[in-house]
Amino acid sequence: MAVRKKQIKEIVESLLEQHNIRQAPVPVPKLARALNIQIKLDEVDDELSGFLFRDKKAGRAVIGVNKSQHPNRQRFTIAHELGHYMLHEGETVHLDHTRSAVTINLRDSASSTGENDEEREANLFAAELLMPSKFLERDLRGKDLDLLGEDDNFLEDLAKKYKVSTRALTFRLTNLEYIGL
């Protein structure tokens, strides 16, 4: 399966439009709740950033987030799990005591390796949701991104505006070809 870049961008743009979100930072927890997804913060093993639990029969979903991680990382985890919610069915887990099935997507250290198409799609969805290309285009209009220039605080300030790490922003700008390597 190839990563569906164009479709993911369209889904995110539609989601932002439907919820009247026009500027950064995107309120991802509020957006999840608007989609009737409950968010649970809890301290878990550092290897686990989060998970998406879906009980289709009951019509409910929960995103679990590791509360010991940085708030920016928590936002990414919520956005990543929203990506799974919007794009993927998840793995079915059968519960013997109820004879029903639920689906689960986990975000752990293996999720960021880029070896699984569903994880790459959820990561792309999260990047597009947290740092929408349309928002970045507007914020970068007329700006020269000289990383070695005098305005070395620009990326840091922009990352704060979007509530993401400077590293995540730099990676996103590189993928959007605002920064050449």
More confident residue, 145 or 67: 67
Given this model, what pLDDT does residue 134 score?
95
Helix (H, G, I), strand (E, B) or coil at 109: helix
Residue 164 structure tokens = 């993401």
User: Above 80 in pLDDT, residue 165?
Assistant: yes
Phi and psi for 59 in degrees, rounded to 5?
70, 40
Name the band, by pLDDT with cuts 50, 70 and 90, for residue 105.
low
User: Above 60 in pLDDT, residue 131?
Assistant: yes
Given this model, what pLDDT does residue 100 score?
43
Phi and psi for 96 in degrees, rounded to 5?
-60, -40
DSSP string, 9-38: HHHHHHHHHHTT--SSSP-HHHHHHHTTEE
Name the band, by pLDDT with cuts 50, 70 and 90, for residue 97.
very low
Read off the pLDDT of residues 8-42 as tens digits, 9 standing for 90 and up: 999 999 999 999 999 999 999 999 999 999 999 99
Given this model, what pLDDT does residue 101 score?
47
Q: Is the dihedral of CA 70, 16, 174, 140 positive or negative?
A: negative
Given this model, what pLDDT does residue 79 score?
97
Mean pLDDT of the chain: 84
Does residue 42 come out as left (phi exceeding 0), alpha (psi in the -120 to 50 range) or beta?
A: beta
Yes or no: say if 123 and 85 are a contact pair by the CB < 8 Å rule.
Answer: no
Average pLDDT over residues 114-138: 92
Q: What angle do CA 35, 65, 118 make, to 5 degrees?
A: 70
User: Above 90 in pLDDT, residue 73?
Assistant: yes
Yes or no: say if 80 and 126 are a contact pair by the CB < 8 Å rule.
Answer: yes
Yes or no: say if 145 and 179 are a contact pair by the CB < 8 Å rule.
Answer: yes
